[in-house]
Amino acid sequence: GQNIDQPTEMTATEGAIVQINCTYQTSGFNGLFWYQQHAGEAPTFLSYNVLDGLEEKGRFSSFLSRSKGYSYLLLKELQMKDSASYLCAGLPYGQNFVFGPGTRLSVLP
Amino acid sequence: DVKVTQSSRYLVKRTGEKVFLECVQDMDHENMFWYRQDPGLGLRLIYFSYDVKMKEKGDIPEGYSVSREKKERFSLILESASTNQTSMYLCASSSGGGHSYGYTFGSGTRLTVV
């Protein structure tokens, strides 16, 4: 089956580092995506991993371990504007995206 | 700037009404999708289309239908709105070369059925 799990809510302090985990059970994903969604707005693409390892994009990095069914999104130097929901999405071979429930991150001053 | 445009940000409809949600993309994408998003449940796929005149059921198609007469437009239809269809509806598109470029989402339509 295809199931993606994420923590529902997280809280962190401005300037800190936060790691949002995502675990999945599937026979195979063609990629693992992270989206950011501010309240009342559309999700926007953040990062994409197709191979194991770390992808870095400025303050945001994403990691994937396919053998462990595990990914994380790492946010450094947190800013207030990073308060949003973060959606983990897997792409099974030959199928459409499967989305996790999303993690609502609150950044406190 | 590429865009997926949903015709309404907020809608209030009465139970039993026929509701049309419109989505237009200007990226010449082959693939288009309709999701609903509810707290704690994430995004759930209602219907999708990989080409004009083509439509496929997603995970929760009951109570919905779709229309894709032109490549750029994908419409979601609630045949007889019910209160359990109160939700945020998101349209998305992607290129036909595969989903490896991710989705571009519209801003969403928050539908309330009273």
Partners of B19 in beta bridges: B78
Contact B106 A44 (CB under 8 A): no
pLDDT of residue B74: 97
Contact residues on chain A for B58, CB-CB shorter than 8 A: 96
- Answer yes or no: is pLDDT of B112 > 80: yes
- Answer yes or no: is pLDDT of B98 > 90: no
C-beta separation of B82 from B76 below 8 A:
no
Please give the C-alpha separations between residue B18 and each of A68, B21, B64, B85, in angstroms, as whole numbers. 46, 10, 10, 12
Residue A99, chain B, CB below 8 Å: the answer is yes
Contact B105 A8 (CB under 8 A): no
Report, as an integer, the average pLDDT of A77-93. Answer: 92
3-state SS, residue B63: coil
C-beta separation of A62 from A49 below 8 A:
yes
From the list B91, B112, B88, B108, the residue with the least C-alpha distance to B9 is: B108
Q: In the structure encoding, which two tokens stand for residue A36, read together?
A: 């950011």
Report, as an integer, the average pLDDT of B77-94. Answer: 96
Instruction: Quickly state the pLDDT bin for A1 (edges 50, 70, 90).
Output: very low
Give the residue carrying structure tokens 């499967």. A98
Q: What average pLDDT does chain B have? A: 91
Range name among A4-18, A52-66, B4-18, B85-99 with the lowest pLDDT average: B85-99
- Answer yes or no: is pLDDT of B105 > 60: yes
Of residues A98 and B70, more confidence is placed in B70
- Answer yes or no: is pLDDT of A3 > 90: no
Whole-number Å distance between alpha carbons of B5 and A42: 11
